[in-house]
Amino acid sequence: MMGKSQKTEPKLFYHGISLERRIPADHPLRRINKLIDFSFVRCQVEQLYGLNGNVSVDPTVILKLMFLLFYEDVKSERALMEQLPLRMDWLWFCGYDLDEATPNHSVISKARRRWGQEVFDGFFNTVLLRCIEAGLVDGQTIHIDSSMIAADADKSKLQAHVRLVVSRMSQRLDEQPVDEPEDKETRWRRQHPVVESPTDPDARLGRKKGESVLGYKDHRVIDDRCGIVTSTITTPANVNDSLVMREAVQEHQANTGSRVKTVVADKGYGVMENYRYLKEINASSCIPHQTYSKGGRFSYEDFCYDRKNDRYICPAGEVLSRVSTKRDNRQVTEYRCELSACWRCQLRDRYTEGEAMGRTLKVSADAVYYVEWADRCLSRYERRRLLDRRRQKAEGSFADATNNHGFKQARWRGLMKMRIQNLLIAAVQNIRKLLHYTGRSSTNLAASAVRAAVQTALSLQNLLITGWSCRLNLS
C-alpha cells in the first residue's frame, strides 16, 4: 500500500525540540567541546574591548567559528556563515538555537584583526598542552620540515611591478644632483630592487623542487611519538630552511618543556651552523649534509682525504697539496693541484671554471669536524629508520593539512594573517589526533606502544641480517 504524499507546508509551532538531544553522544564536535576549553580566549581579549558601545559577539563563539572554518575546510568566512543556520551540529557547538539569529561574516574578520597573533598562539598552546597531558608527545625525537603556500596574489603581475619599481628608482637617480655622492644603501637598492607583489607585499618568490612559488613557507616541528605538531613558524617563501632550524628547536622546547635528544630533517637543514648548534645542546643529528656540486662538477665528497699526509686525492688520482689561509676569522684550508697535472687531465672541464690555475679545494676546519660528527651520531640503520619515519610523520602532516584543511592556498594576505592560518590548521590537526588517540583506553595505548617497539626491533634485526648477508656475499 503506497503512503500518502509528504506535506510541504511547515508547522507554525514546534514543541519539545532540543538541539542537545539531536546531537549524538559520540559526535566529534561534542567530544571536542569536552576536550578543549575555548573560553580561555575571553581573558586574553578582555582588554581589547571597551566599556561602552554595542555588545560584541561572545569571543568564545568567534573562536569556535574560526575553528570550524578550518576543521570543516569551508572555503570562506562568508560561506561558513551561510551554512551555519543549516547545520544543527554547528549551531549546538557555537551555542545557538534553531530560531536564533547568527552573526554576520564580517564579525570574524574584524575580530581576527583586533586580536592579533598572540591569541591564536594561545589557542595552539592550549591544544598542545592537552596533547601533552594525554601522553601523545615525547619531546625527545623531533622531525623538522617545511612546505610552500601559494599566496592570494597573481604571480604574472609581479614582473610588471618590478619594472615599475626600477623605472621609478632610475627617475629618482636622474633627478639627483651630479655632485652628490651615492651612498652604499642607495647603490645596493639600485642593484637589488625589491621583488614584491602589489597585492600581497609580504609574499616572496621561492623555489621548491624546481617550481617557482609566490607565497610563504610553513616550518613545522613534528613529534615522533604520535605526529603532534609542536611548533609552527611562518616565513616568506624565499627564506632558506637552514636558517629556521635553531628557532624551531628552541620553540619546541619552550612549548613542550622537554629537551631534544634527536633532530631529524632533510639535507636542506644540513649546514655546519646547525650541526654546531645541535652539538652545543647535546642533541644527535639525523640530517644528511649538503653537497655543493653544480653544473655536473665534482663535489667535496668526490675527493678522498689522506689524513696521514694531509692532502686530498682527486677522482683522476692527482694530489692536491695544502695551502693554509684565513677567511672571515675562520681557519680555511686550501688544497691545490699542480697546473700541469690539470692541463693534461681528461676530466678538467668538471674540475675548474677557468684556465689560470689548477683545481682548488677550500675546506673549513670547523665544517669538516662538524660534518664528521653529524655522520657519526647514529648508526646507518638508525639513520635510515628515522629518515623513513620522517617521511611518514613530517610529510604526512603536510599532506593531511593539504587534503583536509586547505593548507596549500593562502586564505588571507599578509605575513601575520598567514601565521594565524597556519596556527589554526596545526591546532585543528592536533585536535583530530587527540580525538583519535583518546578514544582508546590506556591498555590499548600501552599495547600499541609495545607493538611499535617490537616492529622497530624486528626491522632493525632484518636490516642487520641483510647487511651481514651482503658482506658474506662480497667476501
3-state secondary structure 160-201: HHHHHHHHHHHHHHHHCCCCCCCCHHHHHHHHCCCCCCCCCC
Q: What is the mean pLDDT of the chain?
A: 80
Assign residue 285 a region (left: φ > 0; alpha: ψ between -120 and 50; beta: otherwise). Answer: beta
Answer yes or no: are the C-beta atoms of 23 and 87 closer than 8 Å. no
Asked if residue 51 has pLDDT above 70, the reply is: yes
C-alpha cell at 391: 617521511
Answer yes or no: are the C-beta atoms of 94 and 58 closer than 8 Å. no
Selection from 130-134, 272-276, 450-454 with the highest mean pLDDT: 130-134
Going 129 to 130 to 134 to 138, the CA torsion angle's sign is negative
Of 247, 244, 283, 287, give the one whose Cα is nearest residue 265: 287
End-to-end CA distance of the chain: 85
d(CA 122, CA 242): 27
What digits encode the pLDDT tens for the residues 79-103?
999 999 999 999 999 999 888 899 9
Asked if residue 469 has pLDDT above 50, the reply is: no
| Residues 302-325 as b or e (16 or more Cβ within 10 Å = b) | ebebeeeeeebebebebebeeeee
d(CA 27, CA 464): 47
- Quick one: pLDDT at residue 140? 94
C-alpha cell at 44: 586574553
pTM: 0.77
Of 280, 253, 249, 254, give the one whose Cα is nearest residue 265: 249
Answer yes or no: are the C-beta atoms of 43 and 119 closer than 8 Å. no
What digits encode the pLDDT tens for the residues 250-279?
999 999 999 999 999 998 898 888 999 999
Q: In the predicted model, what is the mean pLDDT of residues 386-394?
A: 94
Domain extents in the chain = 19-115, 155-196, 300-366
Residues 6 or more apart from 38 whose CB is under 8 A from it? Answer: 60, 63, 64, 67
Answer yes or no: are the C-beta atoms of 203 and 196 closer than 8 Å. yes
